[in-house]
Each structure stands twice: as C-alpha cells, then as structure tokens.
Amino acid sequence: MHQKASIIYQMHPLSMMTAEEIRTSAEILRRSGHIDSNATFHGCCIYEPPKAEVASWVAGDLPDRRLDLVVHSKGETYEARISISRGEVDRWELVPDVIPRVGFLELSKVMDACKSNPDFQKALSERGITDTSTVQIDPWPTGDYGFEFEDGRRVQRCIAFHRPNPDDNGYAFPIDGVMVHVDVDSLEVLHVEDFDQWPMSTEKANYDVDSIVSDYGPLREDLKPVDISQPEGVSFSIEDNQLFWQKWSFRLVMDDTEGLVLHRIAYNQDGVERPIIDRASLAEMVVPYGDTRPSQTFKHALDSGEFGLGMTANSLTLGCDCIGEIVYLDAVQMLDDGSVMSTKNAICIHEEDFGIGWKHTDMLTGQVEVRRSRRLVVSSISTVGNYEYGFFWYFHLDGSIKLEIKLTGILTTRSHRDGDDLTFARQIAPNVAAPIHQHIFCVRLDMAVDGTTNNVIEVNTAALPPGSDNPHGTAFAATETLLSDEKSAMRNTSSASSRYWKIENSHKTNRLGYPTSYRLLPSGTATMFASADSPHGQRAAFAKHNLWVTPTVQSERYAAGDYPTQKNAGHGLPRYTAGNRSITETDVTVWHSFGLTHDVRLEDYPVMPTEYAGFLMVPDGFFERNPAIDVPPSSSGHCH
Ligand code: NI
C-alpha cells in the first residue's frame, strides 16, 4: 500500500470549526438567557481575530476559539460572539433593519405552506394538476420590489414545477404564471399571483441512466477507463487545515456563507515564507435574469449571502466528483434550529498533471528540455436550487494561482405558446424555454504581496500614433496607471487594450530593482446588464464593475453587505467605498467581479455541460526567474 497524506488535528485561530464547538456555542447562548427555545440561527462561522494576532500565534498555544453567530429571536436579529474556550458570550448585539438569510429547515416548511394553500391549489387544478404531491416548489429570494405585503417580513417567492413521477426532472414541466409569496416566520401565504396560463409540456427530460437509455438510446461503449495513480503517494501534506505543497502553503476553511476560504497563501522561498494573499474568498454572487415576465424578472439570487455556499456544499464521492489520489476534508455547519449539519468529504484536495510546464527544442543541437506542469487542486461543489457551482482553486509550480468556477446543473425554465415571441429566452423543448441570465461572482482577495504595503496598478496596451518615432505604424506599448483611491479603482475589463491589474509591493524589489508583484488576469467577462438603479443593480452593485479596490478592513467581507436578503440596496461595496479612501502604500483588498452571460443553448438541456468562469493570477517580478526552472525532468524513460 502506498502512503496517504496524513492529517494531524490541532487547534489554530483559523482552524475549521468542529461539531462540538457548534453545539457548545448554542448551549452557551441558551444558558446566557439571551434566547429562548424559539430562536433560530442564520449564520455560524469562526471568528477571525485581527491579522496581527493570527500572525503572532505560536504553534502549541491554545487559541481563544470563538464563533460568530447570527440569531433571529422574537422578531429581531442579533449577532453573537461566543468564546468556546472560556464558555462566555463576548458580544450580543441587536442589528436593526436587516433580514437574516433563510434556513434550510425553514425552506421545507415554506414549500409545505405553499402546497397547502387553497388559492395555489386552485391555480394548480386550473392547469389540470390535482395532486400536490406531484408538485415541486422552488422557493426563490423575493428581492425588493416594494410589495406592501412583504414589508417587515422575511419572504420567499415560490414558483412551481410538475413531477408526474417522483423522480422526474420537474424543470421539464414548468407550472408558469403562478407565484406564491410566503412569510418564512409565520408561514402565512401573503399573496398568490396567477397572471397567465400556458400549455403544459409533455416531453420528459430525465437524465438518470435508465431514462437516458430508454429516451435517447444506449450509452456509448467505447470509453476505456482512465486511472490516475500516484504509486509513491501524494506530494502534499496537511496539518489540521493547513496545506503544504511544492513551496505553497495556506489554510482552508469551509465557511457557511462564503464556501471555500483560503487563508495566508504564501510561497516558501529558500526557507522564507513570502505572503501573497492573506485571505481569498467568494464575497458574493448574483444570478440576474433578463426576462421581463413576472415569474422570471424578479430572479436575481445572491446565492452566497441568501443561501450560503458552505450550507449547500455537496458530499463528494471518489471516482465521480474527483479522481486520483484524493484527500478529503469534512465540514460542519449550523442549521437554523441550532443543530449540526455534517458534510462528509466537503473539500477535495488532489494533484493533477497539467500538460507541458515548459519546453524548448534547440534547433541546432536537437537537444530537448521539457518539464511537466502539475497543480494542486482544492475544490468544493455547492448545489443551489437548480444549479451546481464548483469552486476550484489551482496552485501551479510556476507560481500562478487560478480560480475556476464550474457551472452545471439544470436550467430553470418557463412556458410559451407555439409562435410566441422569445426575445428573452431560448426554446429547449416543445413549449419550454429557458430565460437569458448571467452568473456574476465577486471574489475578495485580501492581498499581501510580500507584505502589506501594496499598490494596485492598471496596465493597458495601446498602439502608438504614427510619427517619426513610429515610422511604420507598428509600435505598441503597455502603460501603467496607479489606482490611487476607491473611486478611480472601479474599473472594467478591456480585451481591446489587453487590460490587467497588478498588485505590487512598493517597498520590496527583485534582483533587477523592480517592485515584486502579482498580476490579476481577468477573463473576457461582462458586468451586470441590469441598470444601476434597477432592483438588481441596487442590491448587487458589485456586479456593475469588474474591479473594486479597498483598503483592507477585516469586517468588510461581503460585496452586497452582511445581510443581503431583501433590503440591502447600497450595502457592501457601494457603502465601503463611499468615503473614497486612499488605496496606495497600504494593505489592499481587491474585489474582482466576473462571470458568464448565459444565453442558453439547446445543448444545455436536459442537464448542462459544465461551463467555466474564473481568473488567473501570475507572478510578475515576484520571482527572479521562471520559478519552475527547478522542476526535474520526468522519470519515465520514454520521454528521453
Ligand atoms: Ni446559467
């Protein structure tokens, strides 16, 4: 047997929380008398001490472990900080005028409330559906459309799909034209909107093996197995939640809201830990729909803040979600009743061969030098309603870091009559279409390139005007612009100028005397199409720019605010940047919004082939030369 990476558990201020800590935090809070048995929980994560405190922590010290909780009690929302180590409530604070995110247990009650409502049942029977057990309810964040009946309430807006058989893909049969607004606390149905009827589709769209074979024909039989083997084991090690691989090190946490969070990403050069990113996380995401039909237009889920990516993380399976020599980490979260939800294999860690790392053939001598590229992959997959989002962080031998978000799952669907205008949707089956929409992610990168005196610079390449110094009109050059304050750092991508941004240390230089830096290379990504003053634009302003830069404040963590459910217009980045603070020669946080415009294809049905969104960070003068120069040649004989 070959060796598996061993996991040694110990306690660090940034260790992942344990089931015991979650249970203890709820107990301490109940014992304190602040809450009664009706209180519900809407957030639970580790308290991250100030960065200096974390940095000065010495191995073997017992940290003061604290959890931050969001509690809904007697109609009010409170934030609590509980010291597990001391058994005390350090903080108990009323947070006025916010709506805590919906809990998973609450969601299933909302579905039941919807199904048992007579007006909704009447709407179903008018569409020929009499058995509510065949109805799938999708609760959606209702947004903020100024409905009086939603005022002061926590509301989910439900749309429905039909499942003639329990295992059917409901998205093949949208029950369009009906929306049900449900109060999450009282479970009252506040409003049933029944605005139109369309023909029900009759074509199934199941995607389990038996259905595929019976509906579409036999599975292909000529795919030979691929086995990934690492006979000497993996090249990484894990201590608690800290990873070490090929000079890289970082800690990882599965946060209830942000999902995967990477702390203290550093590169060890000749025994010196060189920090690059202090904290990398998904700060929010939004999925705005472009369709004007009432059952579609309200959709702009902020899936991270409104549901929680750690709450929706999958339990991954070897050989299916990940292949090769895999090490998994489990994660635990707190459910809305204060109990523990355990997700086994929530984080997948493995190495991948990544093709050619570098190569050259000397044309004169015929000498070939070639090295393989390899990367460490840390990933998790969240299922949020109809969609799957895979978050894949890659660390490479050449010093580059990549985030790739993989989007798959099922399209949400709507109905139409034959011959209807389909400006806002693409047809995917008879009488079924899927609306155009976007997926825009905002990643928060608390940068630390060789320390905390960083600058952010925009680099654009442009052609020079013809003239005596450009006689052939061929000249082009890259120019650098320092982004000096928050307003000037609200920037968008420009593929026409090969635009990128770089984060450099203003005090550290490389051997040639230039500042050490990392480049942020964006993809060709759009911003949000919804206008800035629309409900979508107001609640997810972060998606209106590809780049934002702020001086780092640890509590400024969420791009759409701490409580992005319903009433959050202007919260998050607009509020953080309102004072137009200076961002030079300081600890900077880079917020990068990127994503996909999903103009649906027929091939996205019945289940979507994976689509990709992301960005790359590459060293720029951070190293003295190609950092992968020391990668040894492959040992397999046939390559020489
Ligand atoms: Ni999509």
Q: Phi/psi of residue 434, each to 5°?
A: -125, 130
Structure tokens at 216: 């579409």
Q: How far is the CA of 15 from the centre of ligand 1 (A)?
A: 34
Q: Say how far apart CA 82 and CA 34 lie, in whole Å.
A: 12
As a dihedral over the C-alpha atoms of residue 7, residue 11, residue 17, residue 20, rounded to 10 degrees, the angle is 100
Q: How far is the CA of 473 from the centre of ligand 1 (A)?
A: 43
- Domain stops at, among 216, 237, 260: 216
| 244 occurs within a structural domain | no
| 608 occurs within a structural domain | yes
Contact by Cβ (8 Å): 558, 564 = yes
Q: How far is the CA of 573 from the centre of ligand 1 (A)?
A: 24
| 80 occurs within a structural domain | yes
pLDDT tens string 186-242: 999 999 999 999 999 999 999 999 999 999 999 999 999 998 899 999 999 999 999
Q: Say how far apart CA 329 and CA 238 lie, in whole Å.
A: 10
- Domain stops at, among 94, 125, 160: 94
Judgement on whether residues 262 and 398 belong to the same structural domain of the protein: yes
Judgement on whether residues 426 and 545 belong to the same structural domain of the protein: yes
Judgement on whether residues 88 and 112 belong to the same structural domain of the protein: no
514 carries an active-site annotation: no
The model's pTM is 0.96
pLDDT tens string 135-173: 999 999 999 999 999 999 999 999 999 999 999 999 999
| 224 occurs within a structural domain | no
Judgement on whether residues 65 and 108 belong to the same structural domain of the protein: no
Task: Give the structural domain span for 57.
Answer: 7-94
Q: How far is the CA of 410 from the centre of ligand 1 (A)?
A: 8
CA gyration radius, the chain: 26
The CATH number of whichever domain residue 133 belongs to comes to 3.10.450.40
| 342 occurs within a structural domain | yes
| 640 occurs within a structural domain | no
Judgement on whether residues 268 and 186 belong to the same structural domain of the protein: no
The total number of structural domains in the chain stands at 3
Mean pLDDT of the chain: 95
Judgement on whether residues 481 and 359 belong to the same structural domain of the protein: yes
Q: Name the catalytic one among 144, 303, 336, 450.
A: 303
Among 360, 404, 351, 411, which residue's Cα sits nearest to residue 386? 411
User: Residue 615 above 80 pLDDT?
Assistant: yes
Q: How far is the CA of 163 from the centre of ligand 1 (A)?
A: 22
| 631 occurs within a structural domain | no
Q: What is the mean pLDDT of residues 555-579?
A: 97
Q: Name the catalytic one among 78, 267, 328, 387.
A: 387
| 199 occurs within a structural domain | yes
Q: Say how far apart CA 298 and CA 291 lie, in whole Å.
A: 9
Q: How far is the CA of 296 from the centre of ligand 1 (A)?
A: 13
State the pLDDT at residue 8.
43
Judgement on whether residues 500 and 361 belong to the same structural domain of the protein: yes
Among 328, 325, 306, which residue's Cα sits nearest to residue 254? 328
Contact by Cβ (8 Å): 439, 595 = yes
The span from the first CA to the last CA of the chain, in angstroms, equals 29
Q: How far is the CA of 158 from the centre of ligand 1 (A)?
A: 19
Judgement on whether residues 13 and 141 belong to the same structural domain of the protein: no
Judgement on whether residues 163 and 303 belong to the same structural domain of the protein: no
Among 389, 226, 403, 409, which residue's Cα sits nearest to residue 319? 226
The CATH number of whichever domain residue 288 belongs to comes to 2.70.98.20
Q: How far is the CA of 388 from the centre of ligand 1 (A)?
A: 10
Contact by Cβ (8 Å): 447, 589 = yes
pLDDT tens string 289-320: 999 999 999 999 999 999 999 999 999 988 88
Q: How far is the CA of 411 from the centre of ligand 1 (A)?
A: 7
Question: How would DSSP label each residue in 163-185?
Answer: -SSTTS-GGGSEEEEEEEEEETT
As a dihedral over the C-alpha atoms of residue 415, residue 417, residue 418, residue 420, rounded to 10 degrees, the angle is -90
387 carries an active-site annotation: yes
Q: How far is the CA of 427 from the centre of ligand 1 (A)?
A: 14
Judgement on whether residues 340 and 393 belong to the same structural domain of the protein: yes
Contact by Cβ (8 Å): 612, 405 = yes
- Domain stops at, among 94, 129, 147: 94
pLDDT tens string 241-271: 999 999 999 999 999 999 999 999 999 999 9
Judgement on whether residues 157 and 259 belong to the same structural domain of the protein: no
Residue 6 binned pLDDT confidence (cut-offs 50, 70, 90): very low
- What distances in angstroms separate CA 369 from CA 75, 366, 639, one per listed residue? 68, 10, 10
Q: Which helix (H) or strand (E) holds 107?
A: helix 104-115
Q: Say how far apart CA 188 and CA 152 lie, in whole Å.
A: 14
Other CB atoms within a 10 A radius of the CB of residue 15 amount to: 18
Q: What is the mean pLDDT of residues 63-79?
A: 95
Judgement on whether residues 351 and 212 belong to the same structural domain of the protein: no
